[in-house]
Amino acid sequence: MKILVTGGLGFIGSHAVVELLDNGYEVVVIDNLYNSNIDVVDSIKKITGKDFSFYQNDVCDLGVLEKIFNEHTIDAVMHFAGYKAVGESVKKPILYYENNLVSTLHLCKKMIEHNCFKLIFSSSATVYGEAKILPITEECEVGGTTNPYGTTKWMIEQILKDITISNPNFTVMVLRYFNPIGAHKSGLIGERPNGIPNNLMPYIVRVATGELEMLSIFGDDYDTPDGTGVRDYIHVVDLAKGHLKALEKAISSQGIYYYNLGTGTGYSVLDLVHNFEKVNHVKVPYKIVERRPGDIASCYADPSKAYKELGWRAELGIEDMMRDSYNFILKQKDY
């Protein structure tokens, strides 16, 4: 079975490609290297001992998609490609709406033209906005997004629903990720954002290596046990495994399905810092600063639907996440 993976060299996509190859799938990757690195191709081959096809192109490019679907018989698509920086999306909304929506529309158009009807889509817990009830189930209201990036995820969910209504063969697994962190245990692939990181974990690791001086914790006056923001951090390898379970279900189902991929456990910013220090025996200097606009106090999943229907649940714990995130950064040649 051959799977097209868009954004397959990125943080989550590369881990999914490893799981697919390890489980006997053939893989075709399209990635424009906007937020990824070409050397991930070799890292994936090194980890798996397997080869795959790679197109260094943009998913918005209809001509390239046509070429890929002509050159390969694609059975299903995992769609990871997309812009994902919250702050940047506020500054460049046109770029975000154009890229994230057009790429998905073009992909679906070419899939249908080539009789490929199984899509696994990277959505986000951000579609729930500020949830009124915790833990968040798939039944919670969606659409209260607070930034253009989040709104693209919500809009794409609506588009995919309409496509499944118009075409009963078209099957979509909408996977709503909570906060993916960690890295492959080999240390060969992981999260490597360009420039100064916006997200917590990439920031912590760079403070630990001394590249950045100090972590700023955005507020300690939230209504949480220690006052800092609580999130549901999930190991990226667990997340990647969830995609394979969703793929198996997609192959034998029709319609659109929604799953939360989280652990169900919330950790605060201070929990993360303290666990990181304990597991890796390093100091992470921090200071408390103002709240970050748009942040919410707590967000964690009820992941029981994914367990009931996909037979998937997260197996790696906070210590694995802390160890693997640091191991990856230490193995990068810049350090």
Binding site for ligand UD1 (CB under 6 A): 84, 86, 124, 126, 146-147, 150, 179, 198-200, 203, 215-218, 229, 231, 269, 292, 295
The residue annotated as part of the active site, out of 25, 55, 83, 149, is 149
- Pull the structure tokens for residue 113: 């033209």
Please report how close the Cβ of residue 203 comes to ligand UD1 at its closest, in angstroms: 4
The least CB distance from residue 88 to ligand UD1, in Å, is 10
Q: Rounded to a whole number, what is the distance in angstroms from the first to the last CA of the chain?
A: 39
Q: How far is CA 279 from the centre of its chain?
A: 24
DSSP percent split of the chain into helix, strand, coil, nearest 5: 40, 20, 40
| Minimum distance, C-beta of residue 65 to ligand UD1, in the bound complex (Å) | 25
Residue 34 DSSP one-character state: S
Active site residue 149: yes
Query: What are 175's two structure tokens?
Result: 């996977």
Instruction: Count other Cβ atoms within 10 Å, centred on residue 73.
Output: 12
- Closer CB to ligand UD1, residue 171 or residue 325? 325
Minimum CB–partner distance for residue 167 and ligand UD1 (Å) = 29
**DSSP notation for 169-210:** T-EEEEEEE-EEE---TTSSS----SSS--SHHHHHHHHHTT
Nearer to ligand UD1, 112 or 297 (CB): 297
Is 99 within 8 Å of 155 (Cβ atoms)? no
Q: Residue 109, exposed/middle/buried by CB under 10 A (0-12, 13-18, 19+)?
A: middle
74 and 68 in contact (C-beta within 8 Å)?
yes
> C-alpha dihedral over 254, 258, 264, 266, to 10 degrees?
160
Handedness of CA 80, 100, 305, 316 (dihedral sign): positive
Q: Could you list the active site residues?
A: 149
